[in-house]
Structure 1
Amino acid sequence: MLFFSFFKTLVGQEVTVELKNDISIRGTLKSVDQFLNIKLENISVVEEIKYPHLSAVKSVFIRGSTVRFVHLPATQVDTALLQDATRREAAQAGGKAKLG
């Protein structure tokens, strides 16, 4: 759930989504859900020459199961905050494992 919360903070930012079929799409993140389903607006295809049929598309909905990577702007990533949240989540999961 940590990463879902993190992606929600990036709404309105420009991201690049690389799909499992090797298409990379850059656009403004409009929404994301817990399944990593992503809506992008004002999109452009990174290799437009290779995929000219996508040049007329301005917004897309990407199913989370087709996402390989999401490239984020380096200025938007607070690595210390992510590491701290990851440690807390791991500690909580470890506590639950001892109970169950």
Structure 2
Amino acid sequence: MLFYSFFKTLVGKEVAVELKNDVSLTGTLHSVDQYLNVKLTGVKVVDEERFPQLGALKGCFIRGSAVRYIQIPASEVDTELLQDACRKENASGGGR
């Protein structure tokens, strides 16, 4: 639940999502659920020459199991808060 809570704080922010099939998209994070499925709006394909069929994409739903990486702006990450949350979850035996 730690990552779900973290990504909920990023709703409305610009993110880049790299999928397992090598497609990279950028857009505004519209929503995220407990399975880390994400919905993006204002989507742009990073390599449109390689994936021209995705050029007209405006918004999309991405299943969490298809995501390789989600890149977020460094300015949006409160590392101290994230470290504290990790320590608390680890101490309580969470994630097992």
| TM-score, L = length of structure 1 | 0.92
Number of residue equivalences: 95
**Greater helix share, structure number:** 1
Long gaps (5+) in structure 2:
none
Q: In structure 2, what is the equivalent of residue 13 of structure 1?
A: 13
Long gaps (5+) in structure 1:
none
Q: What is the RMSD computed on CA atoms of the aligned residues?
A: 1.2
Q: In structure 1, what is the equivalent of residue 75 of structure 2?
A: 75
Q: Which has the larger radius of gyration?
A: 1
Q: Percent identity?
A: 62
Q: In structure 2, what is the equivalent of residue 88 of structure 1?
A: 88
Which letter does structure 2 place at the counterpart of 1:90?
Answer: N
- 1:42-97 superposed Cα distances (whole Å, 9 cap, x missing partner): 00011111111101010000001100110001100011110110000000007xx8
SS in structure 2 of the partner of residue 69 of structure 1: strand
Q: For residues 63 and 2 of structure 1, what CA distance do their matches in structure 2 show?
A: 18
| TM-score, L = length of structure 2 | 0.95
